[in-house]
Amino acid sequence: MTLRIALAGVSGRMGRTLIESVAADAGCSLHAAIDRAGSPLLGQDAQAALGGSSGVRVSADVPAALAGAQALIDFTRPEATFGYLQACATARVPLVIGTTGFDDAGKARIAEAARAIPIVFAPNMSVGVNLLMKLAEVAARALQDGYDIEIVEAHHRHKVDAPSGTALGLGQAVAGATGRDLARCAVYGREGVTGERDPKTIGFATVRGGDIVGDHTLLFAGTGERVELTHKASSRATFAQGALRAAKWLQGRAPGLYDMRDVLDLK
């Protein structure tokens, strides 16, 4: 029996990739395809733009789309995600959130919804990136003395938030492992005469350009050596495959807020 998946934001780059990934996964079936009101795709077959046919038409009616669904996967924008949170909580449909760019208030809203339904919320759904998060904690504990910590990320020109959610997640992993408060020690940009580097800071550098899917490097710079942990994504399929893995993992889970390290048993 296949898992009935509803997808949000199917006109976006990740939405199209998710449609392809669901079609390629024998353990999943496309139950519903959701897009914003006014989308030119409304009423069309969800796979039409990909040259195929799914038998599922794109709709903006979220409650109807969730009826009978076993999970919703959302890679959209924070303002759209809040609507899906409420709809999923009402319909008791587990939710996978790959959307980034939430502020603290937005994260609190997700945590509140997780009291009603199980939610996987992660800054990056890639299996490799989440392994990187775990390695970052191990490395940070070993290298916290005498090593300066910098995080460099690069994404395509269309990405609207910076630093990326993944870069911030790496920062949180390092800060937690070394007993720091990221809100106090993060440095998001340098310009002009900045003075010497504070050894307790965690620096972030952001690159935006072209069609870069997502590159992240965690750098520990010591005296006489550098240790670099790097992940490079060459296809959005890695995020889609991770999201499908999370949707399967959510089945039968109690309400609560989970992340990909729960899914991958990396905690």
Prior bond to 123 cis, omega within 30?
Answer: no
Query: What is the helix (H) or strand (E) element at residue 127, kind and residue range?
Result: helix 127-143
Which of 159, 216, 232, 248 is the catalytic position?
A: 159
Signed CA dihedral, 157, 158, 162, 165: sign only: negative
Tell me, what amino acid is at 236? R
Measuring CA to CA, which residue among 63, 112, 57 is closest to residue 83?
63
216 in active site? no
Query: H/E/C letters for each residue in 213-235?
Result: CEEEEEEEECCCCEEEEEEEECC
155 in active site? yes
Partners of residue 145 on adjacent β-strands: none
Tell me, what amino acid is at 128? G
Which of 31, 134, 155, 248 is the catalytic position?
A: 155
The terminus-to-terminus CA distance of the chain in angstroms comes to: 30
Residues serving a catalytic function are 155, 159
